[in-house]
Amino acid sequence: MLHWMKKAAQMFAPDDNPILSKQLELFLEQISEAVDVVDSDGRIIWVNAAFEALYGWKKENLLGSELPIIPSNCRKELDSLHKLVQEGQRIIGYQTSREHLDGTLIPIELTVFPLIDRAGTICGRVAISKKVTEQKRSYHEVSPLDPLTQLLNRMEFMKVAQKVLDNGKGIKQKLGVAILNLDRFTLINHTFGQAVGDQLLKEVGGRLKKMSGAEMVLARAGGDEFILLFKNITTHDNLVKSIQNIHAGLQKPFGNFQNGTIAITASMGVSVYPRDGRNLDLLIQKAYIALHASKKAGKNTFHFYTRKLGNVFCEHFLLGQDLRIGFESNELEVHYQPMAEMATGAVCGLEALVRWRHPQKGLIPPSKFIPIAEEIGIIDSIGLWILRRACLDIKQIQMRSKKGLKVAVNLSAIQFQNKNFPRQVQKILRDTNVDGRFLELEITESAVIKDAEHTIQILKELKAMGIQISIDDFGTGYSSLDYLKRFPLNNVKIDKSFIQRMDAEDVIIVTGIIKIAQHLQLRVIGEGVESLEHLEFLREHNCDLYQGYLLSKPLPFENICKLLEERSSLEHEINLEEWRSAE
């Protein structure tokens, strides 16, 4: 049944609206277990009759609202599960509790699938909840342990931690609450399989248990997260030392795997009682805010909660809310920066760069809002919108400039991981009547390094449409020369940081990249050219193309059209100043 459930969630999901197809409704209604379907914002789209019977709620009172069946102590657990589903994973047979309309807790086994539309985008989730048998119910109610790691489960941790807090009221005690999250654990599951992932979680749990003493309470919070309570803290420095020891203790690779050892890192967030709060829920909430800061800082580190972090997180959250609304309200716009041939100065293409014109904050750069779009699950939609907008615009630009210019569009790593992406691109090219040879897609090193075979297959499908492929920001990531040779690429873009610094090491790196790329018959594009010195250096070393503020800053559609109409070509020595003054 689970196999067909997954197929249904893919076959019958909607294209552009949150209303389920009749086929999917009929299919789900036949399932004897309770089924709920929610959209990417967590709003209920549909429930079946078995859901109404199990939880006591009527469908008409649920549609458009959030699930009312989640106990308060399971909300963080729910967020973790849904994060995994948003990344494309399935949750099968997860034991937890849900709440009946009358307040009764119901122990259930939960299975969750991503809801995927016909474009291949995750647009929500389908959950099946099954009331556990009496035998399983007895275990669920009695056992305080997580069945995989044999550590305390989250529910038991909440009980123990609350008791510690209650016993300490009225005396001057300090406590620490830490959330520990394994970095890039999803990649391990995808690479080695869930069985290896489960074994690694056991190993991590075992190592954490060895490092914990009588003054620490340890539990598995769910998924790849663990939660720790540090009791009887004497000084802040002692707590920092304990956190450092745990963090360092996970650095050593884990053995006993078929393929050898696995190295993994962890990010942690810590809050302190009573400084950061006097109730457990608030302390956990603030530990999660600190964890978020650790993730944003590049992972493999830890942060303590501060008021400043709380304010930043609040602003970050509100910006995410604004972004959802702003995207739907057409606040995003695409600007274009020209690229020119080094030999002649002729403009040969444009790079499409998204901007967000926030009604209160003004123009917001992509570096600030694209990571948020990835976090809240709308990067696929934004990416496809940019691609469609760029294709529509390049048709107009070509007609107005009377030049066969191409347009380059940046892809996020998340878009590139979508196996349906080539079909989505093909549809946009067909809808906009754009020839694939006028489109260039820019991918980062981090996007292609994860799965070489998947990368090669996707690139081949895109190249078959005549699309050119560029590696963007080359030199800043893994910089594997092997994939320059293996992957079907056309261009290499040298990151602007190397060009703008131009110290001795940067010169060696840039000249080396140019020589290797051209030996492999790849064209080289220099980014961030802001001075004649940058330009002359790249020209002397036979760089093929360049872009940067020396040529033009990114411009809105109408401005770039006027610029191209007035300057059909460039000659470096003659027209460069005229071009710049025309902006």
Residue 317 has a pLDDT of: 84
What kind of architecture, by CATH, is found in domain 316-581? Answer: Alpha-Beta Barrel (3.20)
Closest CA to 525 of 543, 541, 540: 543
502: confidence class by pLDDT, cuts 50, 70, 90 = confident
For residue 23, what pLDDT is reported? 54
Percent of the chain clearing pLDDT 70 (strictly above): 86
Entry field: residues in the chain: 583
Q: Which range, 255-259, 380-384, 484-488, has the best average confidence (pLDDT)? A: 380-384
Q: What is the pLDDT of residue 507?
A: 86
Most confident of 62-66, 424-428, 500-504: 424-428
Q: What does the alpha-carbon distance between residue 467 and residue 440 come to, in Å, rounded to a whole number?
A: 6
Give pLDDT, residue 348: 92
For CATH 3.30.70.270, list the domain ranges present in the chain.
154-305
Query: Higher-confidence residue: 525 or 567?
Result: 525
Separation of alpha carbons 78 and 94, rounded Å = 11
pLDDT of residue 559: 94
Averaged pLDDT, 549-556: 94
Most confident region among 36-45, 95-104, 185-194, 303-312 by mean pLDDT: 303-312
Q: Does domain 154-305 have CATH number 3.40.50.10490?
A: no
- The reported pLDDT for the residue numbered 409 is 96
Give the pLDDT score at 331: 96
Least confident segment among 73-77, 353-357, 469-473: 73-77
Q: Could you identify the residue written with the tokens 């795997």?
A: 257
Which pLDDT band, with edges at 50, 70 and 90, does 485 fall under? confident
Is 488:470 a contact under the CB 8 Å cutoff? no
pLDDT at 364 over 60: yes
**Lowest pLDDT segment from 27-36, 41-50, 286-295, 457-466:** 27-36
Residue 281 has pLDDT above 80, yes or no: yes
Q: What is the mean pLDDT of the chain?
A: 83
Tell whether the model's pLDDT for residue 214 goes beyond 70: yes
Cα dihedral 461, 467, 468, 471 sign: negative
Query: With bands split at pLDDT 50, 70 and 90, how would you rate the model's confidence at 476?
Result: low
More confident residue, 218 or 39: 218
Q: Which residue has the higher pLDDT, 258 or 79?
A: 79
Model confidence pLDDT, tens digit, residues 111-135: 888 887 766 678 888 899 988 765 4
Pairing of strands 439-444, 468-474: parallel
Q: Give 200's Cβ-side CA count (13 Å radius).
A: 32
pLDDT of residue 423: 93
Q: Which helix (H) or strand (E) holds 489?
A: none
Pick from 246, 241, 198: nearest CA to 218: 246
Strand pairing report for 175-182 and 225-230? antiparallel
pLDDT of residue 435: 94
What pLDDT sits at residue 142? 53
- Higher pLDDT residue, 21 or 520? 520
* Domain 2-142 coded CATH 3.30.70.980: no
CA distance 554 to 206: 53
Q: Among the listed ranges 17-21, 80-84, 184-188, 252-256, which one has the minimum average pLDDT value?
A: 17-21
